Amino acid sequence: MRSSRVPSPHSTRARAAPPGGGFLGEPNPLLVRELRQALRLPRLPWTITAAVALIGLGMLTIGSLQVTQGKMAQLGSYLFQGFVSIVLLYVCLVGPATAAGAIALEREGKTLEPLLLTSLAPKDIARGKFLAAFATLGVQVVALLPLAAIPFLFGGVTAGELCVVAVVITAVAAVSVAFGLAIASRTQTLRGALAVSIILPAAGAPLLFGLVTAVGETVASSRWPLVTSGPIWWSTAYTTVPFGLDYVVWLLVWPLLLLGLPFWLFSALSAANLSGVNDDRSSGVKRWFLGASLLLSGAVFVTCFRVDLDKASVCAFLAEIFTFILLVFMAVTLTADPLGPTRLVRARWKRLRTSAFSRMLGPGIIRGAILQIVLAAVILGACYAGGVLGSSPGALRDKLGIASTSRTPLSAIPGALANGAIYVLLFQVFLVGLSAFLRSRKRGGENVAFARAATLAAAVVITIVPWIVATIVNSFSSTSSNAPPLVAAPSPAFAAYAFLQAQRGTDVMSVTVASLSASMAWGALGLVLLGIAWERSRRTVADVEQLQKRTEAKLDREAEEEPDEEEDEEPTAAPPPPPPLPRTAAAEISEKTAASDPDDEPDVIPPPPPLPRGMKPSDEGDSDPKK
């Protein structure tokens, strides 16, 4: 028996998603269509053949040139690291380009709107596009992986390292495809999607790869001396490091966060960009911010115990710096949040009986502001707690920490960590208030790009300009050049200067007072802007609701008056009878006959014969009936 529930007429999806929308049941119909189109392209086998031939011939050439120098195992390790680096670079460049045309072609072909009107939800469309692009890239990666057997000819590589490399390459490929899909869902043309999907990875992938390699190799060399050095040090670490808390923290937790959080973010952005204007486009991104904040808080707290005693505070402060970057990104991203949920979203909440917590993650600029402030407090609190507890010997340090012979940090370090956490939190209040203030203007909802650009520009300018001013002032000052640049206190980077001064033990009090004063000023200004934005948004939402209620009441009133008007209408008068026909001679004879002999029934007089052609009816009256 079919359900009697009728979908909302305002919804862009008239039916529920089929079982194929998920990973179980029937396959995603969009995935099937995309795979058929992608695997039938004639350039795909030629691309795979060219990539395999070039990389394979290059590896064999390098190996044949170096084989005469001996050290075969070392040569095999070098070839293996070079091959993995090339494949990772290939995946980072080709993956986004493969997914870039997935949605851009739909937009250019005017087929995206009909696709959104089908039974597939936006997240199902994004999932189908991702799986199709990932499968296409996976075919190329699988064709390249057998080349990793070439280092076996020289030695120095184990089967476990090959398995680790295959897993990591697959994860990086998934992230790169998700990034390209997020870019394609935002751009309007195929050329724009391809340009952004190629330029950004080409510029950012080497920097990110070098940063991860440098930090990871530093940690690996200090923790595990037997791990092979080089850009692919992690392949040896996964197979040689004994399993323990260090293995879980450094080789499982942080790699999963570095790869899983970007993938989750790109997937949420793709689904949000494909949703309609009246749909809920905020819940997915806010869930990501919530999950990322909680996961990063736990990872930072535990990591502060897995370093030396004197480095725990430095680790916590670096975490505060990255938290500041994450919070700025959060403020800029959630600037596009609407003033409140639409009627469609509220009706869906009512129909599905959504909880208050899920509604808190829904559309609404004030909801988003409160969420950002709470998450900022949670992350910064975890950083401060980890830095203070991790840098002080105690029971918790003995359970979670490592043995350390380092000296106990200075007593000013906890105050410097608290100062940095307070500054970042209050500056985030200012950014949230500024973005909400810009969005709550009369025409602020029509120009989201301006509000985002203004919020990002404010964060960058306030961070940099005070230091430029401080440098200029100190250059003209007659005092010592080592004097604290208190003019730069309005910059959030001044908290880093205060932390360094606390480590040195110089000018702690003056620097701390200046930092706290500037941070409190930013927090007060942010609260004022947030209060103005709250009042504006409340009035706007109330006006919209009143207008909707008046419109609905007017429509209901008109619908009730229409049947009454039909009942009150007077019946129309009957049409007048037709005029009598002209009397003919035959009719006069029949009347005279009936009058002369009333007892006899009148004979039926046949109708007159038709008139001859050319004779008019007026000529009939001139004939004599007796004749």
Model confidence, pTM: 0.81
Q: Does 598 score more than 50 pLDDT?
A: no
Sign of CA dihedral 202, 205, 207, 209: negative
Q: How confident is the model at residue 625 (pLDDT cuts 50, 70, 90)?
A: very low
Q: Does 428 score more than 80 pLDDT?
A: yes
151-160, 194-203, 206-215, 375-384, range with the lowest pLDDT: 151-160
Residue 455's nearest CA partner among 441, 439, 434 is 434
Amino acid 615: pLDDT: 55
End-to-end CA distance of the chain: 87
Q: Does 298 score more than 80 pLDDT?
A: yes
Amino acid 173: pLDDT: 94
Q: Quote the CA–CA distance of 491 and 481 in Å, as a whole number.
A: 19
Q: Quote the CA–CA distance of 395 and 451 in Å, as a whole number.
A: 49
236-245, 433-442, 454-463, 583-592, range with the lowest pLDDT: 583-592
Token look-up 């505060």 returns 320
6-15, 103-112, 359-368, 394-403, range with the lowest pLDDT: 6-15
Q: Does 179 score more than 60 pLDDT?
A: yes
Amino acid 529: pLDDT: 95
Residue 440's nearest CA partner among 516, 369, 360 is 369
> What's the whole-number mean pLDDT along residues 118-134?
87
Q: Does 305 score more than 60 pLDDT?
A: yes
Q: Does 8 score more than 70 pLDDT?
A: no
Greater confidence, 284 or 620? Answer: 284
Sign of CA dihedral 429, 432, 438, 442: negative
Q: Quote the CA–CA distance of 501 and 546 in Å, as a whole number.
A: 57
> What's the whole-number mean pLDDT along residues 305-311?
85
Cα dihedral angle (435, 441, 443, 448), rounded to 10 degrees?
10
Q: How confident is the model at residue 456 (pLDDT cuts 50, 70, 90)?
A: very high
Q: Does 40 score more than 50 pLDDT?
A: yes
Residue 177's nearest CA partner among 118, 62, 97 is 97
Q: Which residues of 396-409 are buried (b: 16+ CB within 10 A; e: fewer)?
A: ebeebbeeeeeeeb
Q: Quote the CA–CA distance of 567 and 94 in Å, as a whole number.
A: 72
Q: Quote the CA–CA distance of 81 and 230 in Å, as a whole number.
A: 8
Amino acid 602: pLDDT: 47
pLDDT digits 0-9 by tens, 539-584 = 888 888 888 888 888 888 888 876 655 555 555 555 666 665 555 5
Q: How confident is the model at residue 517 (pLDDT cuts 50, 70, 90)?
A: very high
Sign of CA dihedral 381, 320, 270, 460: positive
Q: Does 198 score more than 80 pLDDT?
A: yes
Pair 492, 422: CB distance under 8 Å: no
Q: How confident is the model at residue 612 (pLDDT cuts 50, 70, 90)?
A: low
Greater confidence, 309 or 353? Answer: 353
Q: Quote the CA–CA distance of 91 and 95 in Å, as a whole number.
A: 5
User: What tokens does 332 get?
Assistant: 């800029």
> What's the whole-number mean pLDDT along residues 391-399?
78
Contacts of 503 (CB under 8 A, 6+ apart): 410, 412, 413, 416
DSSP-derived 3-state class of residue 9: coil
Q: Quote the CA–CA distance of 533 and 365 in Å, as a whole number.
A: 9
Q: Quote the CA–CA distance of 382 and 295 in Å, as a whole number.
A: 11
Greater confidence, 478 or 537? Answer: 537
Q: Quote the CA–CA distance of 502 and 491 in Å, as a whole number.
A: 18
Sign of CA dihedral 224, 228, 230, 235: negative
Amino acid 172: pLDDT: 94
- Alpha-carbon 257 to chain mean position: 17
Token look-up 């008046």 returns 550
> What's the whole-number mean pLDDT along residues 483-512?
84
pLDDT above 90 coverage of the chain, percent: 28
> What's the whole-number mean pLDDT along residues 107-136?
84
Token look-up 């590589």 returns 157
- Count of other CB atoms within 10 angstroms of residue 7: 11
Pair 24, 116: CB distance under 8 Å: no
Amino acid at 352: L
166-170, 226-230, 595-599, range with the lowest pLDDT: 595-599
Amino acid at 481: S
Amino acid 221: pLDDT: 79
Q: What's the chain's Rg over C-alpha atoms?
A: 40
Q: Does 92 score more than 80 pLDDT?
A: yes
What does the DSSP 8-state code read for residue 613? T
Amino acid 278: pLDDT: 83
pLDDT digits 0-9 by tens, 244-267 = 888 999 999 999 999 999 999 999
Q: Quote the CA–CA distance of 83 and 62 in Å, as a whole number.
A: 11
Residue 311's nearest CA partner among 379, 238, 218 is 218
Amino acid 414: pLDDT: 86
Across all residues in the chain, what is the average pLDDT? 81
Q: Quote the CA–CA distance of 377 and 372 in Å, as a whole number.
A: 9
Token look-up 């005092």 returns 479
Q: How confident is the model at residue 211 (pLDDT cuts 50, 70, 90)?
A: confident
Residue 76's nearest CA partner among 92, 59, 88 is 59
Amino acid 443: pLDDT: 64
> What's the whole-number mean pLDDT along residues 444-468?
87
DSSP-derived 3-state class of residue 448: helix
pLDDT digits 0-9 by tens, 429-440 = 999 999 999 988
Amino acid 11: pLDDT: 42
Question: Treating both helix axes as pointing N-terminal to C-terminal, what angle do 29-39 and 122-144 enclose, rounded to 10 degrees?
Answer: 40
Burial (CB count <10 Å: 0-12, 13-18, 19+), residue 541: middle
- Count of other CB atoms within 10 angstroms of residue 6: 7
The backbone region for 364, taken as left when phi is positive above 0, alpha when psi lies in -120 to 50, beta otherwise, is: left
pLDDT digits 0-9 by tens, 42-57 = 777 888 888 888 888 8
Greater confidence, 419 or 59? Answer: 419
Total residues belonging to the chain: 627
